Amino acid sequence: IALLGGLMGTMFTIALRRLFIVEEALPYPEGVACREVLVAGEEGGEGSQAILYALGIGAIYGLMVKGFQATHHTVEGVINFMGTKIYGGIDLSVALLSVGFIVGIRIASFIFLGGMFGFMILVPMYGLINGWGEGDSSVEQFKWIWATQIRYAGVGAMVVGGLYTLWSMRKSIITGISKALKTTTGDDEDLIRTEIDLPMKFVFAFCTVIVGLTLLFYWWKTGSFILSLAGAAFLAVTAFFFAAVAGYIAGVVGSSNSPVSGMTIATLLFTVALVWIIGDLMLGLSTPTLMLATMLIASIVASSAAIAGDVMQDLKTGHMVGATPRIQQTAEIIGVITGALVIGPTLKLLHNAFGITKTACLREAAETGRNCDNALLAPQAELIGDIVRGSFVGDVNMQMIILGVVIAVVLIWLKMPVMSVAIGIYLPLGLSVPIMLGGVLSYFAFRSAHLRVDGELRDKPSKKAIDAAKEVENRGVLIGAGFIAGESILGVLVALLIVLEIDLTSIFNTGVLNNFLSLIFFGWFVLVFLWLATRSLPSKGNLIRDFSLITKDIFGKIISMFKLSK
């Protein structure tokens, strides 16, 4: 799946490079940021050191929390309140903190809003009306209601949100597709080095081979040639469509804001319809075969779309630094092949060590008795599984999904970002809290830059202040990426140690800090992150003074909102 989808997306992206990057000159913000990283690494100095610092600090944190298990990875609790229960919790992850800083205060706040709505309103209401069900503790009872009921409201909201996101971006999608279908002319011999792509004849021939291999792969796994032929034809059309969409939208708003989740959901729904008509009505295949075929077809299309935006960002970076596209595209193909070979064993390693998705882990726990406390949540995987299973088996919680649809419609009416709030409802609140914290840090860092340049906090900062905040943002993104990579890499290494039955806690006889000290430990790394991310602030001023003035400004605006106008 990773190999076929990745190569398909890469090939389509190569065909679109000159159109989107050269002729249209789309901005591709992550590609520009990667150029800054390359320049910092080439020049050395503080920028290069900051990346290494962040990578090392993130790795140290991951080793202490996941390897030595010196602190709790989650601090949470439930209190009784007016006949119901109120939950509070935070996932102590510097990676999630960094995600919040990167996405910014707006997106982080809407994710947090969704989490608060699910955990502070929907779960207590459901428990008050229907009882608290299973679980040996209040926390387990609270999470049981969220997992078996409220989470499906997030599913319904995400489905509507994904489709609405695609609809709202229909003009960009139509523009991207129409431009992609235009043929570009030109002889490579007449082009300068920095404009020579892989030959288009090779690209289209390679795409034909991939479609043929996909047909054989589908046939091998499902045993139905007719369904596999339909799936391969569907792949050829939709993969190109979504690769063009992903490549264009990533160029306009960036990969981080590209609606890949919406594309995946839309692909999944179309695939369900295709498999149901051909596999069920026409061929009468078994339900497990129908579900497998749906997953195989949709996953390759989704992989193609996901890789397309990233590859286009890479090609944008290469265009800015004077790389030869043909050589860079060859490297992209090698990278996709390498990643496809590595990802399978890596996922297997993580699943053996922790369990990928709570659902899969608990199902295995019933047979093997494994511990699922540290299971990886993988919300997109759970979401796709819920949609596929509900489509063919019918055991999905339709009442809650309809509630989620209603919530999404209200959010659309209020002109709020549906997907962000829906993700917050779907995720545990504990994951939303560090994301929100990271968003708050980004807001204070940017406003601090405005304050130091302008000398005061203005509703509309000067251009110089905005540029200073952009410098802080670029550095914060680098630091955040380092923290994410460091913690993630250590997670994989710890998984390897677990599979090899090497227990660091037993070898070094380490204890576990209590909840309060675990929070203090996490707070120290939050301060380190803030210190590193704000090194590019103008020198005039200090963070404590900035913090007090910005806080005063925030409360002043809140109070003014509630004052009656004369």
pLDDT tens column, 348-358 = 998 888 888 88
pLDDT tier at 444, thresholds 50, 70, 90: very high
Closest CA to 358 of 382, 385, 380: 382
Q: What are the tens digits of pLDDT across the range 57-66?
A: 999 998 898 8
Q: Is the pLDDT of residue 185 over 60?
A: no
- Give the pLDDT score at 183: 46
Q: Which pLDDT tens digit goes with each residue over 87-137?
A: 899 999 898 898 889 888 988 899 899 999 999 999 999 988 888 876 667
pLDDT given at position 211 = 92
The pLDDT of residue 69 is above 80: yes
* Helix axes of 287-321 and 260-275: crossing angle, nearest 10 degrees: 150
Exposure b/e, 139-178, CB count within 10 A at least 16 = b: bebbbbbbeebbbbbbbbbbbbbbbbbbeebeebbeebee
Residue 565 is classified by DSSP as P
Identify the pLDDT of residue 215: 94
Beta bridge partners of 376: 356
Cα–Cα distance between 344 and 98 in angstroms, integer? 26
Q: Answer whether 0.95 is exceeded by the pTM.
A: no
What letter represents residue 186's amino acid?
A: G
CA 283 to chain centre: 37
Whether 33 shows a pLDDT value over 70: the answer reads no
Say what the pLDDT of residue 333 is.
94
In this model, does residue 339 exceed pLDDT 90? yes
Indicate the pLDDT class of residue 184, thresholds 50, 70 and 90: very low
C-alpha gyration radius of the chain: 25
Give pLDDT tens digits for 357-403: 888 888 888 787 788 877 887 777 887 888 888 888 876 677 888 89
Residue-level pLDDT at 441: 94
With 50 as the cut, is the pLDDT of residue 147 above it? yes
| Other CB atoms within 10 Å distance of the CB of residue 326 | 16
Whether pLDDT at 511 is above 60: yes
- Between 200 and 316, name the one with better pLDDT: 316
More confident residue, 233 or 561: 233
Kindly tell me the sign of the dihedral angle through the C-alpha atoms of 130, 134, 136, 140.
negative
Q: Which residue has the higher pLDDT, 28 or 149?
A: 149
Region 213-235 average pLDDT = 92
Higher pLDDT, 301 or 170: 301
The confidence band for 454, taking pLDDT boundaries of 50, 70 and 90, is confident
Residue 255: pLDDT over 80 = no
Average pLDDT over residues 428-439: 90
Predicted local confidence at residue 353, as pLDDT: 87
Residue 61 CB contacts under 8 Å (≥ 6 apart), including other chains: 94, 483, 486, 487, 490, 525
What is the average pLDDT value for the chain, to the nearest integer?
84
Which tens digits make up the pLDDT trace of 288-338?
999 999 999 888 888 888 888 889 888 888 888 888 999 999 999 999 999
pLDDT at 265 > cutoff 80: no
pLDDT at 159: 77
